[in-house]
Amino acid sequence: MTKKWNLQDIRPATPRKNKKLQHRMQEGDESQTPSNQPLTSREHIPSIIIEDGRNKGNSRLLISIVLFVVIVGGALGLSALMGKTELTIYPEMRELNVNAEFTAYPDMRENALSYEIMTLETVGESQVKATGQIQVEEQATGLIEIVNTTTGAERLIKNTRFRTEEGLVFRIPESVVVPGAVRDNSGSSIPGTIQIEVFADQPGEEYNIPANQTFDIPGFQESGLTALFNGITARNAAAFIGGYSGPQFQIDDNELNTARQALQIQLRDDLLMRIDSEKPADFIAYQNAVAITYNQLPAIEYGQGLVTIREQAVLQIPLFSSSDFASFLAEQTVATYDGNDIRIQNPETLAFSYTSGTTSSSVIANEPSLTFNLSGKPMFVWEYDGEKLAKDLAGLPKTAITNAVASYPGIDAARVHITPFWKRTFPADAVDIKIIEELTPIAN
């Protein structure tokens, strides 16, 4: 009879214990305690936090937007603070070929070029061998400027006396006409002046007077010509020298000439180096326009048969006002010149030479005029009022530059550069507009 099996007979009601696990538990391996171990003895199990992903995404988006606004806003603000406005001006320019003879005058004349005389002087010395001594009587000499405040010209005859406040008398070697005072455009009286050399009435070192002494003409006072006595005076810009009375050393002529020539060259070079540093900034001077005279001073003993020779060099040079000089040449060379302010950008390119070869060794302060030749290719640049232009443009749209520049005849073209790029107006304050002058042709 076949035996029937129930399901319980096939699978036990309770699970069978794993023999290996039982064996481990018996050996006391607590590290492998099954899950029915008490809760207090289990390892810590990390907690799991479940977040809403949509809320976290919204927060990140908001932070990104805020950072973007801060960064962009800061950049724009910084650009505005560091912004600048540059206005580049291209003035009207013209290079001309100049080669002509001109005449200039020491006084102001209509449609003529005028000049002023700058005088520089220096003294040098050198040692040479002496051959003996002689008795010498020499009179001091110097240059005075006669000033006439009366309205008429006055002729002073040869040997007219000029007297210092201490009573020392000097005379002029030749007659001279002192021009009278004139009125300028404002109606002010401009005294007439002329320079002339004088010599001491007597020999002696006491006549070697310092600079800036005042002279009168005693002859006017003695003749009762009070107006002329009060109206015509003189002053010396440099000290008088050469006065001497006593023994003087003798020197061989050839040795003396050689020593004096070397000394004169040194003095000339020293004076030429002083021109640029001592002339006024707004005047033009040409080294080839100098006139130098030399005066021998008494020699002094040096010792051991040597003497010290001394030499004075006096340099005179005409100075031309930069603006007047440019305007005069423009009138002479530019057919379309309309009289507006103009300058010569490179006056050094003009070569200067006197028409007469003797002018460079004369006292040019006594000359009634100077005739010379100028040759070269100077660059004429028309002037404009940059400050006024900046004020005209302040606060206006960028496009206003076209109409504004058109009202300035000295400007050929202009370009404006404004940062940051989105700004379309000039700054409200004119000082924030930087003017840059460009002396190269504007590119098309």
| DSSP characters over 174-243 | S-EEEPPPEE-TTS-EE-EEEEEEEEESS-SGGG---SS-EEE-HHHHHTT-HHHHHHEEEE-SS--B--
Quick check: 57 pLDDT over 70? no
Quick check: 41 pLDDT over 60? no
Q: Which of the 8 DSSP states describes residue 297?
A: E
Bridge partners of 147, per DSSP, are 193, 233
- For 208-249, the pLDDT digits (tens) are 999 999 999 999 999 999 999 999 999 998 889 889 888 777
Other C-beta atoms lying within 10 Å of the C-beta of residue 128:
20
* 125, two tokens: 């010395």
Query: What is the model's pLDDT at position 159?
Result: 95
Long-range contacts: 384-388, Cβ < 8 Å, 24+?
Answer: 384/89, 384/91, 384/408, 384/410, 384/411, 386/89, 386/435, 386/437, 387/430, 387/435
Query: What is the model's pLDDT at position 110?
Result: 85
Bridge partners of 144, per DSSP, are 196
Higher pLDDT, 184 or 161: 161
Could you tell me if 154 and 230 are in contact, meaning their C-beta atoms sit under 8 angstroms apart? no
Radius of gyration of the chain (CA): 49
d(CA 295, CA 138): 12
Average pLDDT, the chain: 83
Could you tell me if 317 and 291 are in contact, meaning their C-beta atoms sit under 8 angstroms apart? yes
The rounded percent of the chain whose pLDDT value lies above 90 is 44
Query: What is the model's pLDDT at position 11?
Result: 54
Query: What is the model's pLDDT at position 74?
Result: 54
Where residue 47 falls among pLDDT bands split at 50, 70, 90? Answer: low
Higher pLDDT, 37 or 432: 432
Higher pLDDT, 442 or 145: 145
* 84, two tokens: 């600048």
Quick check: 34 pLDDT over 80? no
Asked whether the whole model's pTM tops 0.95, one would answer no
Query: What is the model's pLDDT at position 83?
Result: 65
DSSP notation for 332-354: HH-TT--S--EEES-GGGSEEEE
Higher pLDDT, 66 or 23: 66
Query: What is the model's pLDDT at position 129?
Result: 86
Tell me the longest C-alpha to C-alpha distance in the chain: 189
Instruction: Please name the residue ranges forming H helices in 232-370.
Output: 253-278, 322-333
The listed range with the strongest mean pLDDT (24-28, 170-174, 338-342) is 170-174
Query: What is the model's pLDDT at position 297?
Result: 82
Query: What is the model's pLDDT at position 7?
Result: 47
